[in-house]
Amino acid sequence: MSDGSHVRFLRTTVVLWILAVVLSAIVAPPDPFTQLLYTVPLLVLAPGLSYLLSYRGGFEYLHSKL
């Protein structure tokens, strides 16, 4: 694992966290409690998805399919 992989992992995690917050704000009603119910699971899943994309060839697989 090179330093580039770590940077890619962190960058991907931050982007997925931002997308999780924005998506939950769009999909959930304006109630803060409901937005938390939508946001927290997405924030928990983001590092796992980032790991798969960064270290398990997820980006290369997506790039080959596009």
pLDDT for the residue numbered 4: 82
Tell me: the pLDDT tens digits for 12-63? 999 999 999 999 999 998 899 999 999 999 999 999 999 988 888 887 787 8
Spell out the domain ranges in the chain: 3-65
Alpha-helical segments (H) within the chain: 3-27, 32-55, 58-65
Backbone phi and psi for residue 56, each to the nearest 5 degrees, phi listed first:
-110, 20
pLDDT for the residue numbered 3: 67
| pTM for this predicted structure | 0.82
pLDDT for the residue numbered 22: 95
Confidence of residue 65 (pLDDT cuts 50, 70, 90): confident
